[in-house]
């Protein structure tokens, strides 16, 4: 969405853009300064921001709540005459698509694009590895009648390690393989953690740590200094290295 908007404004394209961004809180608005500058410097660029959560110490006086049949027309009254482009987490895109369909939007003018890497599969357990990683031992059991004894399988050693992960808000404690991210574990356990890029870049999946021993698989670019100081981590690239307790 940002690249399309930049191109349209940089080429002085005769298009009127309404950029709608739904975030959890003001601190979660991606490209906030650039978006506000676009709106201030271009009369054909309208910015509609809505926050889905109330946060203490971070006041917001604009639109509030998830995009719905009241909020969408309030931000963009002529949306039915526009072409809609949507990008974000799957749950967000499904919600927007369902909303505009129910509002009678001409769906031939609706476009959506997901981004980020696909979810990783859960690493196999030790038992699963043992069931599928046997090797045959050298056969030294030749009998006098040249009958070959059945070789005994030798189990390959397992190197996987699991650690307890506690989802404090949900009241769940489960073991997590160190090769699995906290986001993948949360989704497998049906615990809601917002996500989008799944690579540490957007910050959608940040959760507050209560006790944590993790390693990051990649750079946590989606966290700013204040997030880190307040104890937030990115679940999509966080892998347990010891006991983990997070507020989710």
Q: Is the pLDDT of residue 9 over 80?
A: yes
Distance CA 244, CA 174 (A): 10
**Domains of the chain, start order:** 2-113 (3.40.50.80), 162-246 (3.10.20.30)
Q: Is the pLDDT of residue 120 over 60?
A: no
Q: Is the pLDDT of residue 83 over 90?
A: yes
pLDDT computed for residue 123 by the predictor = 54
pLDDT computed for residue 224 by the predictor = 82
Q: Is the pLDDT of residue 145 over 90?
A: no
Report the b/e string of 207-218 with b at 16+ CB within 10 A: bbbeebebeeee
pLDDT tens-place string over residues 10-28: 987 788 999 999 988 888 8
Average pLDDT, the chain: 83
Decide: helix, strand or coil at residue 211.
Answer: strand
Per-residue confidence at 155, pLDDT binned at 50, 70, 90? very low
Rounded average pLDDT over 90-98: 87
Q: Is the pLDDT of residue 169 over 80?
A: yes
pTM of the model: 0.59
Q: Which of 83-92, 185-194, 231-240 has the lowest mean pLDDT?
A: 83-92
Distance CA 39, CA 36 (A): 5
Task: Give the rounded distance of the alpha carbon of 227 from its chain centre.
Answer: 17
pLDDT computed for residue 118 by the predictor = 54
Could you count the other beta carbons within 10 Å of the beta carbon of residue 227?
18
Task: Give the bridge partners for 208, in sequence order.
Answer: 232
Q: Count, in order, helices (H) and strands (E) of the chain.
A: 7, 14
pLDDT computed for residue 42 by the predictor = 94
pLDDT computed for residue 106 by the predictor = 97
- For the residues of 90-104, what is the DSSP string, one character each? HHHHHHHHHHHHHTT
Q: Which long-range contacts (CB under 8 A, 24 or more apart) does 77-81 make?
A: 79/18, 79/105, 80/104, 80/105, 80/106
Count of all residues that appear for the chain in the document? 248
Distance CA 208, CA 186 (A): 14
Distance CA 193, CA 212 (A): 17
What angle in degrees, to the nearest 10, is found between the helix axes of 32-41 and 2-10?
30
pLDDT computed for residue 16 by the predictor = 93
């Amino acid at each position: 969405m940002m690249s399309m908007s930049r191109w349209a404004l940089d080429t002085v394209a005769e298009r009127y853009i309404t950029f709608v961004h739904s975030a959890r809180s003001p601190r979660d608005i991606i490209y906030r300064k650039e978006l506000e500058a676009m709106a201030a410097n271009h009369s054909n660029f309208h910015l509609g921001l809505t926050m889905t959560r109330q946060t203490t110490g971070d006041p917001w006086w604009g639109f509030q709540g998830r995009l719905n049949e009241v909020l969408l027309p309030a931000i963009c009254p002529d949306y039915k005459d526009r072409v809609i482009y949507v990008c974000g987490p799957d749950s967000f895109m499904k919600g927007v698509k369902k909303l505009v369909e129910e509002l009678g939007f001409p769906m031939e003018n609706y476009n959506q694009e997901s981004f980020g890497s696909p979810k990783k599969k859960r690493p196999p357990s030790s038992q699963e590895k043992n069931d599928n990683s046997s090797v045959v031992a050298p056969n030294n059991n030749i009998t006098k009648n040249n009958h070959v004894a059945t070789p005994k399988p030798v189990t390959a050693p397992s190197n996987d390690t699991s650690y307890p992960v506690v989802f404090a808000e949900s009241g769940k404690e489960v073991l997590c393989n160190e090769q699995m991210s906290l986001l993948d574990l949360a989704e497998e356990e049906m615990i809601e953690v917002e996500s989008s890029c799944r690579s540490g870049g957007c910050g959608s999946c940040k959760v507050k740590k209560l006790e944590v021993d993790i390693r990051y698989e990649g750079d946590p670019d989606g966290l700013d200094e204040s997030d880190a100081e307040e104890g937030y981590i990115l679940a999509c690239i966080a892998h347990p290295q010891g006991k983990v307790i997070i507020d989710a």
